[in-house]
Chains A and B, each alone.
Chain A
Amino acid sequence: MSARTARAGTGRRRALLTGVVTLLVAMPFVWMVSLAFKPKTEVFSYPPKLLPDQPTLDNFAYVWNSTNIPGAMANSLVVATLTVAGNCIAATAAGYALARIDFRGSRLLFTTVLGSAMVPSIVQLIPLFLIVKGFPLAGGNDLFGQGGSGLLDSHAGLVLPMLVQPLNIYLARQYFLDMPGELAEAGRLDGAGELRIFWQIYLPLARPIVATIAILSFTGAWEDFLWPLVAVSSPEMQTLPLALSSFAGSGVTQYGPLMAGTFIAIVPVLVIFVAGQRHFVQGLGAGGVKG
């Protein structure tokens, strides 16, 4: 009895200690929320106060009415959604084929996928810029990719480099490898074609990995910065990170609206994180390798 209460006591003490440490680590987020809801007059008040005296939504209204952040948010949503679709469909299908179908060239393909996952993105950046700029018959280009700006400054150009990511193919392949081959044999016995075996037997069982791929591609597209920086020239096509950074860099930084915009940028990731926590952790080991 006394031993148990003693243990409960140390448990509570440890919870308290961990709580304090967690709060310290989370401090930047707490201040972000505080500033986002502070009226203009309080943002620069000294000493800075954690709780606003008069909480207000003015900063959000300002972001909504007077910045390109809402449009950037729409752009980011379009880009992230297309990226998720591309990876969930094409990367999953390719991962399945590389794991479960024995066809000529599959070895070489897999090695190529693995190898290209290791190449840092900066190596591809410049050629990619030239390729996207010279995309035939787009953005005023002729058949030979001359004369216009190609897919630069367009949703298609923003999505293209992220549409199918080697890492996701790899994740899908590893998952399908661990699934039993008897399922395919049973399908073949019942006269199902190879594509149907994938679509109706394996894919429904692979939902966890599809969810992981969806989460990884969404968060990746949502936070991507370097490619949009290079590929976008007009304010209307900016993605959220670009819009935030150019808002911060224009004149005297208005921290209230900036924190409101940052808050808005974090919310979707937060929702996904809470909804799909276990998939997050699942994809983590491999996600860390991403360059």
Chain B
Amino acid sequence: MVTETRPPGTSSGPEPVTARRPSRSPLRSAQRRAGWILVLPAALALSLVTIVPIGYGFYLSLTSYNPVERGGPRFHGLDGYLAVLQSGEFWHAIWITVQYASGTLILAVPAALALALLVNGRFPGVALFRAVLYLPRVVPLVAVSMIWLWLYSHDGLFNYLLDLVGLPPVDFLTDEDTALPSLIAMRAWKALGGSMIIFLAGLQAVPASLLEAAAVDGCGRWRTLRHVILPLLVPITTYVVVVDLIYLAQSFSEIYVLTSGGPLSSTTVLNMLIYNEAFEHYRLGNASAMAFLLFCLIFGLAYLSIRSMARGGRR
């Protein structure tokens, strides 16, 4: 199609005349070749580390495979999935994952919205405040975990604050009742900044004319927020929630580092369970089946997120 737009007889250079004759095929095949050359390195790498592993993993999920015992994967069809679906461990891990993800969102999303409202304006220092509030998002999760390890420790900040108000110390990370909420609080803190920036972008897209109209109609600040701004933020909130949910459903490193899934598996999320199943107990077939079940869960969430994004874009 490109060749047709070129006026005929414009070839000025001496040698490329033949190459630039307005016939379709040479250019097309040159393009095709270039396309493949440019795509090839990425295609090779992706097939080795993504495509093949997905297929291989699916095969493994249909087998029972323990590399410590000699003799390769043994095919047993859907037995592995049935075994996983019937195990209490699996459903317990799902339940912990759901609590972890939803708990984090319930804390983080309203707080992020509040922060976004706070820094949506022009006043001295606002750029610095935004940057600092965003900071936890870019800091590696393990580094964040190390800081909170101290905050939660016996002589750490939180126990000091409890002591100040006259309460007894709490073993935040080693008590069965407080370990999960403690992880949730940390993760919500980590998630604040990213969601805040997305909300901020949403707030800045609210048309000024609407706010003026609301002011003319005598809406107070609260009513403007409640009836004008928040309804406009619904699509972006859906986006934040669903994307974070997909991400949180795969939490692992902070949990491995701070509690290793304990105490008494009270913080064993699904990824933690899969890791243990595969690399502590060497049940690679079962672990793969669990991974694919998690995949189904997340795929459903991804589907929702794309739909909500499409709706947000149409607005």
Q: Which residue numbers of A lie inside 8 Å of B, CB to CB?
A: 11-12, 14-15, 17-19, 21-22, 25-29, 31-32, 35, 44, 46-48, 86, 89-91, 93-94, 96-98, 101-104, 106, 109, 112-113, 116, 118-131, 160-161, 163-164, 166, 169, 184-185, 188-189, 191, 193-195, 198, 219, 222-223, 225-226, 229-230, 240-241, 244-245, 248-249, 253, 255, 258-259, 261-262, 265-266, 269-270, 273, 277, 280-281, 284-285, 288-291
In the assembled complex, how far is the CB of residue A200 from the closest CB belonging to chain B, in whole angstroms? 13
In the assembled complex, how far is the CB of residue B164 from the closest CB belonging to chain A, in whole angstroms? 8
- On whether the beta carbons of A131 and B146 are closer than 8 Å, the reply is no
Q: Which of B32-40, B75-83, B85-93, B174-182 contacts A (4 or more CB under 8 A)?
A: B32-40
- On whether the beta carbons of A128 and B49 are closer than 8 Å, the reply is yes
CA distance A270 to B132 in the complex (A): 11
Instruction: Kindly report which residue of chain B lies nearest to residue A133, judged by CB atoms.
Output: B67
- On whether the beta carbons of A48 and B155 are closer than 8 Å, the reply is yes
Which residues on the A side are within 8 Å of B304 (C-beta)?
A: none
- On whether the beta carbons of A124 and B35 are closer than 8 Å, the reply is no
- On whether the beta carbons of B146 and A244 are closer than 8 Å, the reply is yes
Interface residues of B in 122-149 (CB under 8 A from A): 122-126, 129, 131-133, 135-136, 138-149
Which residues on the A side are within 8 Å of B198 (C-beta)?
A: 284-285, 288
23 contacts between A and B (CB under 8 A): A12-B123, A18-B126, A22-B132, A25-B115, A31-B151, A101-B32, A113-B46, A122-B250, A122-B275, A122-B294, A123-B292, A127-B60, A131-B49, A131-B56, A185-B6, A194-B31, A219-B140, A241-B141, A244-B146, A270-B138, A291-B247, A291-B250, A291-B298
CA distance A111 to B33 in the complex (A): 20
- On whether the beta carbons of B146 and A124 are closer than 8 Å, the reply is no
- On whether the beta carbons of B123 and A18 are closer than 8 Å, the reply is yes
**4 closest Cβ contacts across the A-B interface?**
A194-B34, A103-B35, A223-B140, A94-B42
Q: How large is the interface on B (under 10, 10 to 19, 20 to 34, 35 or more residues)?
A: 35 or more
CA distance A25 to B188 in the complex (A): 11
| Interface residue? B45 (CB, 8 A) | yes
Instruction: Kindly report which residue of chain A lies nearest to residue B122, judged by CB atoms.
Output: A11
The binding surface of chain B is classed by DSSP as helix
| Interface residue? B284 (CB, 8 A) | yes
User: A48-B156, A273-B135 are known contacts; what are 5 more A-B pairs with Cβ within 8 Å?
Assistant: A103-B32, A126-B284, A127-B288, A164-B49, A244-B143
Which residues on the A side are within 8 Å of B45 (C-beta)?
A: 86, 90, 160, 163-164
Q: Which of B19, B54, B163 has the most CB of A within 10 A?
A: B54
Number of A-B contacts (CB under 8 A): 292
Q: Which residue numbers of B lie inside 8 Å of A, CB to CB?
A: 2, 5-6, 10, 13, 16, 19-20, 27, 30-39, 41-43, 45-46, 48-54, 56-57, 60, 67, 115, 118-119, 121-126, 129, 131-133, 135-136, 138-151, 153, 155-157, 160, 163, 189, 192, 194, 197-198, 243-244, 246-247, 249-250, 252-253, 256-257, 271, 274-275, 278-279, 284, 287-288, 291-292, 294-295, 298-299, 302, 305
In the assembled complex, how far is the CB of residue B61 from the closest CB belonging to chain A, in whole angstroms? 9
CA distance A280 to B247 in the complex (A): 18
CA distance A91 to B31 in the complex (A): 18
CA distance A11 to B119 in the complex (A): 11
- On whether the beta carbons of A131 and B121 are closer than 8 Å, the reply is no
In the assembled complex, how far is the CB of residue B183 from the closest CB belonging to chain A, in whole angstroms? 14
Which residues on the B side are within 8 Å of A169 (C-beta)?
A: 42
- On whether the beta carbons of B160 and A47 are closer than 8 Å, the reply is yes
- On whether the beta carbons of B132 and A26 are closer than 8 Å, the reply is yes
In the assembled complex, how far is the CB of residue B273 from the closest CB belonging to chain A, in whole angstroms? 10
CA distance A261 to B147 in the complex (A): 11
CA distance A223 to B140 in the complex (A): 5
From A28, A97, A102, A123, contact of B38 by CB (8 A): A97
In the assembled complex, how far is the CB of residue A103 from the closest CB belonging to chain B, in whole angstroms? 3
- On whether the beta carbons of B253 and A241 are closer than 8 Å, the reply is yes
From B52, B142, B189, contact of A241 by CB (8 A): B142
Q: Which of B119, B132, B146 has the most CB of A within 10 A?
A: B146
In the assembled complex, how far is the CB of residue B143 from the closest CB belonging to chain A, in whole angstroms? 5
In the assembled complex, how far is the CB of residue A259 from the closest CB belonging to chain B, in whole angstroms? 7
- On whether the beta carbons of A103 and B247 are closer than 8 Å, the reply is no
Which residues on the A side are within 8 Å of B284 (C-beta)?
A: 126, 130
In the assembled complex, how far is the CB of residue A76 from the closest CB belonging to chain B, in whole angstroms? 10
In the assembled complex, how far is the CB of residue B201 from the closest CB belonging to chain A, in whole angstroms? 8
